[in-house]
Amino acid sequence: MDIKECYKEMGADYEDVLRRMGSDSLVERFTLRFLDDKSYQMIKDGIAAGDAETAFRGAHTLKGVCLNLGFSSLYEVSAQLTEDLRGRVIEGSEASQAAVDREYQRTENAIRRWQNENRG
Amino acid sequence: MRTDIKRTMEQARMEMDILSKVYSKVRLLSRDELCVDNSDDACWRESCLGGGEYCQDCVSVMSIEEHRQKTKLKYIGSELYEVTARYLEIDGKPYVMELIQTLDDSDSNMENAIDSQESQDAEVFYKALYTDALTGAYNRRYYEEHLKKRVLSAGVAIFDLDDFKLANDTYGHDIGDRILKTEVSVILNLIRKTDSLVRIGGDEFLLVMPGISQDNFDGKLREIRRLISSAEVSNSHNQQITVSIGGVMAKNEAICDVAARADRYMYQAKTHKNSISTEWGIIEMPEHAVLSAGKKKSDQCILVVDDSEMNRAILCEMLKDNFDTLEAENGEEALDMLSRYGRRISLVLLDVVMPVMDGFEVLEKMNSKGIIDDIPVIMISSEDSNTFIRTAYEMGVSDYIRRPYDAMIVRRRVYNTIKLYAKQRRLTSILSEQMKDKEQNRQIMVGILSHIVEFRNGESGAHVQHINVLTKMLLSRLVQKTDKYDLTWQDRETIVMASSLHDIGKIGIDDKILNKRGKLTDEEFEIMKQHTVIGASILEELTMYQDEPLVKTAYRVCRWHHERYDGRGYPDGLKGEEIPISAQVVSLADVYDALVSKRVYKKSFSHETAMKMIFNGECGIFNPLLLECLKDIQDDIYNTVYAEGNEMFDSKDKEGQGIKKLYEKSVNFGGGAEFII
């Protein structure tokens, strides 16, 4: 599995990100770094603590990161969650939370598989 | 047709042998050879038939680009050549076979086919089409149509005149034009015929020197810089011109790509002015700049502010080849770095939504501290509602970049914004220097003028200085106490300057009365009072400058600086606030300084006595509010005017014996009534 297939598996736009970043190695490097990104955890923490502000910022950041990396599927659901949390109320955002969870898992799994196959 | 163009090298050589029996010259050129301008056998190259200049319509280049045969006729001097370029693929690689035939008069009747006058007309036409009318360099059109796509190995440099816009605005376009012509003639004198100098736009020039070695190119650039900075521009107020130069070596690259790279180096040189910056280092700069130039890849440092480490890393990665980067993860950290590094930060990339302090708060702080004018901000966000973007622009951001970023666009926008600001910073500092010079000249002129009056009056030159200082002190106290008079900082400066002129009317008063040692008769006093009206009319007759604030204010000060608050002053007997505040302040300053100074008709009083006399109304009635101001600042007055003033008088006395001697014999110690003169 190469990076292109990895992008395909997570429902992301590889051609777009390559055009913007300019090189394969840059895309690979940042895709790998996505695993360390803390914004998804921030959403989870915020929701668990009933802290809508933190959850909103987590969603907002995740959306920005996905946009930059061309992770289109995860971008779409995190953008929806951002809008649902914009009023800083957690209630009512359950559906988009679940969508973000689902897409995040799919993205993370794809990256880990690609990582394991290529980098041991 | 495609098969017709395929050959092996052996086949091609055989063909050439045959063709060389028919043509005067036959030659085979690969794509590389075609584009490298090897000056040693330049005369043999079709593209160099024109006495070493690039052909404006090189058939070989066209042929290899369009994959077909091309033919043309060309006059070199009086000789006519026929040039045919055949496109071939030899062993799978593109080549051009050049067939050149000299068509001389005896064995050809071609000259009849081509009217020689017409051909010359065409040459003239092409020259005009591709030459910049002002400077004689190639023009932009030449660059667009013939140069930018060419792939060459060459020394390539961008030249940009330093502060050209300022010279243009200050001295006029005529001088600006001369500067450009001077620059171009210096460069053209130093380059070879095979080189091209193009005026890319405004004051930006591109120099392409094909086939030159890096060492020679380096030497050329140094020489150009040196000769331009020592060149004289005719009729230009000794305007010195300097250039910033960016230089790179192209290795089989398209000129437009290389020029963009040279432009970046030129911009680095620009931060020092009169310098050269190249791929192989900064090779020359004025001495004062050597110290400040670091050894880093660039002097430009970008502050990246974003709460997501990931986003910061992506941006830094995109910028790291061209700039140094600093990172901050929220607004507070960003402000901290801004105050720590100041202008060493060339630009801020600012995210909007962040914890602790968001992007808009950072902008607010940058506005209130005035740093937004010095350090440009580019806002970055995925928020793309129009109100959002509009607010960002209203708060002073220079640009707005939407996520997702495109590496090229980010670099380009950052670079353009920095370039603009660097230019603006330089212009601002030059402008403020010039303003300072002009302001000083203005003060000198006013000083000379008021000194003429004092000289006739036998007063020490310090009186006007004292009036200036006292007026300034009273005014700043007055605006602290009340906003009743609505005096701006500029209004106050104007009043201070006008105060120097308060007694210019004395120029019209007879010496005998002006310098009379005894008490004035009633008749003489009436004449003396006229100095107010005379001063005012002198200003009124300056018809040209009637609307100038300085003239308006000076008029009021001259005419009414002897009016008193109770209406018992002269010449018009104005009362209370009928007297303009400018005249009120100057009259109080005038009275204080007259009291503590020695005059032909009186001795000097001590500071304390003078204050007492003023507050007791012995010198007439003043605005109670102004008297309060005087009281508030009396210690300051004692220290800055009185103490220093007496010192000054002493030293002046020693130097100014000639002037003072006349009056020293019989100093009049008499009466107080005249003090209000």
In tens, the pLDDT along A9-37 reads 988 889 888 988 888 888 888 899 899 89
Kindly indicate the confidence band of residue B118, based on its pLDDT and cuts at 50, 70 and 90.
low
B488 in the same domain as B408: no
In a domain, B176, yes or no: yes
Highest mean pLDDT, choosing among A40-49, B123-132, B309-318, B380-389: A40-49
Contact between B316 and B323 under an 8 Å Cβ cutoff? The reply is: no
Evaluate if residue B572 carries a pLDDT over 90: yes
Domain CATH for B315: 3.40.50.2300
Helix (H) or strand (E) holding B494: helix B489-499
Write down the pLDDT at residue B620: 93
Q: Compare all CA atoms of chain B with the CA of A79 and give the residue at the minimum distance.
A: B382
Inspect the interface and report whether the beta carbons of B308 and A61 lie closer than 8 Å. Answer: yes
Using a CB–CB cutoff of 8 Å, tell me whether B310 touches chain A: yes
Instruction: Look over chain B and give the mean of its residue pLDDT values, rounded to a whole number.
Output: 81
Question: How many Cβ contacts (< 8 angstroms) between chains A and B?
Answer: 58
Looking at the complex, does the CB of residue B356 fall below 8 Å from at least one CB of chain A?
no
Same domain (yes/no): B247, B281: yes
| B308, B313, B407 member nearest A39 (Cβ) | B308
What sign results for the dihedral spanned by CA atoms B225, B230, B234, B239? positive
Q: What is the pLDDT of residue B389?
A: 84
User: Are the C-beta atoms of B296 and B323 separated by less than 8 Å?
Assistant: no
Percent of chain A surpassing pLDDT 90: 60
Q: What average pLDDT does this structure show over B6-34?
A: 84
Domain final residue, candidates B234, B257, B292? B292
Task: Give the residue extent of every domain in chain A.
Answer: 3-114
Which one of B203, B218, B263, B503 is the catalytic residue?
B203
- Long-range contact list for B201-204, CB < 8 A, 24+ apart? B201/B140, B202/B164, B203/B160, B203/B161, B203/B164, B203/B165, B204/B158, B204/B159, B204/B160
Average pLDDT value for residue range B122-132:
81
User: The CATH number of the domain where B75 resides is what?
Assistant: 3.30.450
Q: How far apart are CA B211 and CA B421, in angstroms?
A: 36
Residues B382, A21: C-beta atoms closer than 8 Å:
no
Whether residue B453 lies inside any domain: the answer is: no
Inter-residue contact B97 to B186 (CB < 8 Å):
no
Range with the lowest mean pLDDT among A71-85, B102-116, B257-271, B314-328? B102-116
Q: What is the C-alpha to C-alpha distance for residues B425 and B405, in angstroms, rounded to an integer?
A: 28
**What is the percent of chain B where pLDDT is above 70?**
84
Res B672 pLDDT > 50: no
For residues B43, B46, B52, B55, the Cα torsion angle rounded to the nearest 10 degrees is: 170
Is the pLDDT score of B297 beyond 60? no
| Pairing between β-strand B70-76 and β-strand B93-103 as defined by DSSP bridges | unpaired
The whole-angstrom separation of Cα B169 and Cα B199 is 20
Residues B564, B599 within the same domain: yes
Residue B438 domain-assigned (yes or no): no
C-alpha pair distances (Å), B212 with each of B39, B132, B154, B227, B673: 9, 25, 6, 20, 89
CATH for B492: 1.10.3210.10
B382 touches A: beta carbon within 8 Å: yes
**Average pLDDT of the segment spanning B613-624:** 94
Q: Could you say which DSSP state residue B622 is in?
A: -
Q: Whole-angstrom Cα distance, residue B396 to residue B393?
A: 5
Per-residue pLDDT band at B670 (split at 50, 70, 90): very low
Compute how many other C-beta atoms are within 10 angstroms of the C-beta atom of residue B197. Answer: 22
Q: Do A81 and A96 meet the contact criterion of CB atoms below 8 Å apart?
A: yes
Instruction: Give the pLDDT confidence of B539-560 residue by residue, as tens digits.
Output: 998 888 888 899 999 999 999 9
Calculate the average pLDDT of chain A.
Answer: 91
Per the domain annotation, does B574 fall within a domain?
A: yes
Same domain, B585 and B654: yes
Claim to verify: residue B202 and residue B59 sit in the same structural domain: no
B485 backbone φψ class: left, alpha, beta (φ>0; ψ -120 to 50): alpha
Quote the ipTM score.
0.82
Q: How far apart are CA B489 and CA B476, in angstroms?
A: 9
Q: Give pTM, 2 decimals.
A: 0.44
Given a cut of 70, whether residue B517 has pLDDT beyond it is yes
**pLDDT score of B133:** 87
Kindly report which listed range (A67-71, B49-53, B133-137, B336-340) carries the lowest average pLDDT score: B49-53
How many domains, chain B? Answer: 4
User: What would the pLDDT profile of B158-214 be if each residue is shown by its tens digit?
Assistant: 999 888 887 777 777 888 888 898 889 889 988 988 899 999 988 899 999 999 999
Do the Cβ atoms of A38 and B355 come within 8 Å?
no
- Closest-CA distance of chain B to residue A98, Å: 23
Task: Among A60, A63, A66, pick the best mutation site for testing chain B contact (most B Cβ within 10 A).
Answer: A60
Three-state DSSP class for B544? helix
Range of the domain at B341: 301-430
Per-residue pLDDT band at B627 (split at 50, 70, 90) = very high
- Whether residue B314 and residue A57 make contact (CB cut-off 8 A), yes or no, is no
d(CA B505, CA B335) in angstroms, rounded, equals 57
* One domain for residues B313 and B199: no
Average pLDDT over residues B395-424: 86
A39 contacts on B by Cβ (under 8 Å): 308, 310
Residues of A in contact with B321 (CB under 8 A): none
Same domain, B287 and B139: yes
B440 in any annotated domain: no
Same domain assignment for residues B111 and B136: no
Residue B355 is nearest to which of A29, A57, A67, comparing CB atoms? A57
In a domain, residue B437? The reply is no
pLDDT band at B384 (very low <50, low <70, confident <90, very high): low
Q: Which tokens is A25 given?
A: 């190695």
pLDDT of residue B368: 85
For chain A, what's the residue count?
120
Residue with tokens 């005894």: B518
Which residues, including other chains, have CB under 8 Å from residue B150's CB and lie 6 or more apart? B35, B61, B254, B255
Is A37's CB within 8 Å of B308's CB?
yes
Task: Answer yes or no: do B279 and B305 share one domain.
Answer: no
B406 touches chain A (CB under 8 A): yes
CA dihedral B271, B275, B278, B284 (to 10 degrees): -130
What's the pLDDT at B40?
38
Is pLDDT above 70 for B12?
yes
For residues B554 and B425, membership in a common domain is answered with no
Secondary structure (3-state) at B570: coil
CA distance B356 to chain A (A): 11
User: How far away is chain A from the Cα of B321, in angstroms, using its nearest Cα?
Assistant: 13
Q: Using the predicted structure, report yes or no on whether residue B282 has a pLDDT greater than 80.
A: no
Whether B231 maps to a domain, the answer reads: yes
Beta strands in B104-230 (DSSP E): 151-161, 196-201, 204-210
What's residue B39's pLDDT? 41
Q: Residue B70 has what pLDDT?
A: 79
Report pLDDT for B381. Answer: 79
Per-state percent for chain A, helix, strand, coil, to nearest 5: 80, 0, 20
For residue B588, the model assigns a pLDDT of 96
pLDDT in tens, B204-241: 999 999 999 999 999 999 989 888 888 877 666 566 78
Q: State the virtual CA torsion across B268, B272, B274, B276 in degrees, nearest 10.
A: -40
Share of chain B above pLDDT 90, in %: 28
- In chain A, whose CA is at the least distance from the CA of B317? A26
Which tokens go with B248?
């790179």
Secondary structure of residue B94 in the 3-state scheme: strand
Task: Report yes or no: B469 and B633 within 8 Å, Cβ to Cβ.
Answer: no
pLDDT the model gives residue B72: 78
Average pLDDT of the segment spanning B131-142: 90
Is B640 inside any structural domain? yes
* Span between the terminal Cα atoms of chain A, in Å: 13
- Residue B4 annotated to the active site: no
Cβ–Cβ gap A30/B310 under 8 Å: yes
Nearest to B622 by CA among B478, B513, B511, B519: B478
B317 contact A CB<8A:
yes
Is A64 within 8 Å of B408 when comparing Cβ atoms? no
Give CA angle at B166 (B162, B172), nearest 5°. 120
Contact: A19, B406; criterion CB under 8 Å: yes
- CATH fold, domain A3-114, is Four Helix Bundle (Hemerythrin (Met), subunit A) (1.20.120)
Q: Are residues B243 and B373 in the same domain?
A: no
pLDDT digits (tens, 9 = 90+) for B246-272: 999 999 999 999 999 999 888 888 877
